[in-house]
């Protein structure tokens, strides 16, 4: 026992004054006080625990700093990769702009060339119209001559009644020819020329009926030749009219094509981000990046395939959707499929490097 420990008192009963009114208690052993060595052991244990805790905290903090340093290094690498991708995209966009500029110049040259071709077509059309008008005037002149010949034949028939019996067969043939020409109408000019030659043949056959018959045979031959010539003339006129119609159709087609090119150039110059653009070959379509799963407890395990038209905005989100005609499932399934399709995600469609809206078909099934 350490007698010098604080709080320790020595009791000397020999020198203690006792009084009769004080209660005398039996002597008790004083409590055991901790020695100085025990205190140092306790302090040492506490210090070791503190040092162990500090070392643990140091290693934990060091591990955190190492992880943060790794994250920062990875972040720097990701930033460098993103920067390189951005430079590549800028280079691709510059190439696309150069390509579009070249295509624009080529389209303008093509428009100028087609304008020149259109002027040539207009000139050819005017020339053909003049030629058709001239042919129409010639046909009118031939028709007038035919009417005069009709009058001459009637007058000659009255003067030469004696030859009516011998010429009955010839007149019958002429009447059949006139009937055939009346039915076809386009051979009226041929008949007029044939009647002119018939009148000449009849004038030379006044003295002799046989000579008149021979002359009529010759006239029939000439009639057939002239009929062929007239048919050729009519065919030529029909060909010219057909060519005229073809030229007019070509002119209309050139005008439509020119307007299409103008609209194409205008769309190339005025397309803005977020514009609604028709789905075509000139459009880079949107690509599906996320498919929302269909509810397992509502829809059958297998359905479809169904074709949907979806409106994809410039951010790749689906704004509207509907089924293509003839692809409509039952109403309950249709509503769930459409609601699920509205949560699909796409890469935005682009035209000339600009993000646009477009309607695009997709197929859903399970």
What is the number of other CB atoms lying within 10 angstroms of the CB of residue 363? 11
Are residues 168 and 299 part of one domain? no
What does the pLDDT look like over 13-59, one tens digit per residue? 555 555 555 555 566 555 555 555 656 667 778 888 888 888 888 78
Are residues 265 and 193 part of one domain? yes
Quote the pLDDT of residue 180. 75
Quote the pLDDT of residue 30. 58
Number of domains in the chain: 2
Quote the pLDDT of residue 5. 53
**Mean pLDDT within 75-102:** 82
pLDDT at 116 over 80: yes
Q: Is residue 189 part of a domain?
A: yes
Are residues 223 and 130 part of one domain? yes
Are residues 182 and 140 part of one domain? yes
Q: Is residue 236 part of a domain?
A: yes
Are residues 135 and 192 part of one domain? yes
Task: Measure the CA–CA gap between 140 and 73, rounded to whole angstroms.
Answer: 98
Are residues 297 and 258 part of one domain? no
**Mean pLDDT within 229-237:** 77
Are residues 266 and 135 part of one domain? yes
* DSSP assigned state of 315: T
Quote the pLDDT of residue 303. 77
Are residues 256 and 319 part of one domain? no
Quote the pLDDT of residue 198. 72
Quote the pLDDT of residue 164. 76
Instruction: For residue 291, give its domain range.
Output: 287-364
Where does the pLDDT of residue 308 fall: very low under 50, low under 70, confident under 90, or very high at 90 and above? Answer: very high
Rounded to the nearest 5 percent, the helix, strand and coil shares of the chain are: 65, 10, 25
Sequence-ordered strand ranges (E) for the chain: 287-290, 306-312, 318-323, 345-347, 349-351, 354-356, 358-364
Q: Single out the residue in 240, 270, 300 at which a domain terminates.
A: 270
Read off the tokens for 286: 């949107």
Are residues 213 and 298 part of one domain? no
Burial (CB count within 10 angstroms: exposed 0-12, middle 13-18, buried 19+), residue 156: middle
Are residues 292 and 177 part of one domain? no
The residue assigned the tokens 């020329």 is 193
Q: Is residue 13 part of a domain?
A: no
Q: Is residue 177 part of a domain?
A: yes
Quote the pLDDT of residue 81. 86
**Mean confidence (pLDDT) of the chain:** 79
More confident residue, 350 or 64: 350
Specify the length of the chain in residues: 366
Q: Is residue 53 part of a domain?
A: no
Are 237 and 132 in contact by the 8 Å Cβ rule? The answer is yes
Task: Measure the CA–CA gap between 365 and 363, rounded to whole angstroms.
Answer: 7
Q: Is residue 253 part of a domain?
A: yes
Are 125 and 251 in contact by the 8 Å Cβ rule? The answer is yes
Are residues 217 and 158 part of one domain? yes
Task: Measure the CA–CA gap between 233 and 22, rounded to whole angstroms.
Answer: 169
What does the pLDDT look like over 159-195, one tens digit per residue? 878 777 777 887 787 788 677 767 777 777 777 787 7
312 phi and psi angles, rounded to 5 deg: -100, 125
Where does the pLDDT of residue 287 fall: very low under 50, low under 70, confident under 90, or very high at 90 and above? Answer: very high
Q: Is residue 30 part of a domain?
A: no
pLDDT at 320 over 90: yes
CA proximity to 310, closest of 281, 284, 345: 345
Q: Is residue 309 part of a domain?
A: yes
Residues 6+ apart with CB under 8 A from 254: 114, 117, 118, 121
Are 273 and 354 in contact by the 8 Å Cβ rule? The answer is yes
Lowest-pLDDT range, 147-156, 311-320, 357-366? Answer: 147-156
Are residues 144 and 216 part of one domain? yes
């Amino acid at each position: 026992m350490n007698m010098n420990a604080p709080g320790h008192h020595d009791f000397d009963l020999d020198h203690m004054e006792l009084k009769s009114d004080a209660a005398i208690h039996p002597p008790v052993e004083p409590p055991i006080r901790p020695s100085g060595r025990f205190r140092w052991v306790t302090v040492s244990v506490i210090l070791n625990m503190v040092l162990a805790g500090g070392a643990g905290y140091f290693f934990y903090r060091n591990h955190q700093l190492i992880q943060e340093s790794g994250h920062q290094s990875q972040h720097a690498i990701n930033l460098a990769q993103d920067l390189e991708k951005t430079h590549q995209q800028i280079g691709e966009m510059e190439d696309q702009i150069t390509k579009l500029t070249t295509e624009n110049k080529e389209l303008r040259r093509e428009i100028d060339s087609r304008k020149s071709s259109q002027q040539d077509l207009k000139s050819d059309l005017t020339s053909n119209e003049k030629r058709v008008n001239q042919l129409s005037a010639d046909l009118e002149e031939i028709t007038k001559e035919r009417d005069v010949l009709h009058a001459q034949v009637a007058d000659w028939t009255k003067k030469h009644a004696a030859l009516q019996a011998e010429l009955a067969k010839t007149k019958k043939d002429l009447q059949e020819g006139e009937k055939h020409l009346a039915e076809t109408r386009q051979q009226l000019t041929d008949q007029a020329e044939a009647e002119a030659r018939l009148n000449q043949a009849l004038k030379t056959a006044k003295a002799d009926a046989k000579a008149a018959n021979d002359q009529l045979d010759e006239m029939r031959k000439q009639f057939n030749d002239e009929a062929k010539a007239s048919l050729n003339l009519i065919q030529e006129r029909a060909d010219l009219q057909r060519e005229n119609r073809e030229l007019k159709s070509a002119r209309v087609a050139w005008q439509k094509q020119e307007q299409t090119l103008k609209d194409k150039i205008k769309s190339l110059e005025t397309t803005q981000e977020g514009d609604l653009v028709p789905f075509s070959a000139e459009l880079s379509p949107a690509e599906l990046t996320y498919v929302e799963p269909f509810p397992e407890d509502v829809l059958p395990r297998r359905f479809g395939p169904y074709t949907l038209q979806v409106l994809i905005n410039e951010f790749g989100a689906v704004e509207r959707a509907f089924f293509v005609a003839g692809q409509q499932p039952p109403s309950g399934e249709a509503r769930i499929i459409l609601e699920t399709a509205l949560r699909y995600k796409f890469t935005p469609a682009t035209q000339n490097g600009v993000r646009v809206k477009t309607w695009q078909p997709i197929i859903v099934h399970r």
